[in-house]
Amino acid sequence: MGYDAANEFGVIVLKPGIKLKSAVCDTEVLVIKAGGAGVVSCGGAPLVEARTGGKGAVDPAFADGTKMGKRYTDAAGTLELLCIKPGTGSLALDGVALHLKDAKPLPSSD
Q: Report pLDDT for 103.
A: 79
Q: Report pLDDT for 1.
A: 30
Q: Where are the alpha helices (DSSP H) in 1-110?
A: none
Residue 18 burial (CB < 10 Å; 0-12/13-18/19+)? Answer: middle
Contact between residue 44 and residue 94 where contact means Cβ atoms under 8 Å apart:
no
Q: Report pLDDT for 9.
A: 39
Q: Report pLDDT for 54.
A: 65
**Distance (Å) of CA 105 to CA 71, 89, 102, 109:** 15, 28, 9, 12
Q: pLDDT of the chain along its 110 residues, tens only?
A: 333 444 443 467 788 999 999 999 999 999 999 987 788 999 999 998 876 666 788 888 898 999 999 999 999 889 999 999 999 999 999 999 999 998 788 888 76
Q: Report pLDDT for 51.
A: 65
Domain ranges of the chain: 19-100
